[in-house]
Amino acid sequence: MNNQLVALPSRLLTHLPHSLQRCGLALMACFCALLTGCTTDRASLATGPKIRLQVGDIKEISMATRADTTWQLTATSDNQEVVDVSRKQPVAATGGPPASTPGPAVFLLKGVTVGTARVVFSEKQLGATGDGQVKKTYTVVVSSK
């Protein structure tokens, strides 16, 4: 009885035209691709290079700035509970007020809790509304120590 149940689908398939057999295989392949596509995690959907941090670690990221001082460079995290982003202030050599020397802007990325966040660096003119123009995007993965 069991042999007859197993043999039935194979007998049905052999009597189908070749084009229908191919169509069935293509549908099965599409179905499998759809299932594997549904299992991607959030980190794989993000763009840009990946940075790995442990909770409490701080990483410095340098970004080139424009010589024109009417533009500002900002960095934001889409998940501030996971990654804290701040700008490192330049310090004068004499210990006085912060120096305003041209050069790259340095940002500090700190791993706060375990998770994944996107950090977007963008620039816009002073006083302009909106998010500005994206310069670089990082995916930051924070793990436990």
- Give the pLDDT confidence score for residue 19 in this predicted structure: 63
Locate the DSSP E strands across 35-102: 50-54, 58-63, 71-77, 83-87
Q: Do residues 124 and 131 touch, judged by C-beta distance below 8 A?
A: yes
- Of 99, 105, 34, 107, nearest to 77 by C-alpha is 107
What is the layout of strands, in order, in the sheet containing 133-143?
Answer: 50-54, 133-143, 115-125, 71-77
145 residues of the chain, pLDDT tens digit each: 555 555 555 555 566 566 656 656 666 665 545 555 554 444 444 567 999 999 999 999 998 888 888 888 899 999 999 999 999 887 666 666 555 556 788 999 999 999 999 999 999 988 888 888 999 999 999 999 8
This prediction's pTM: 0.61
- Give the pLDDT confidence score for residue 67 in this predicted structure: 81
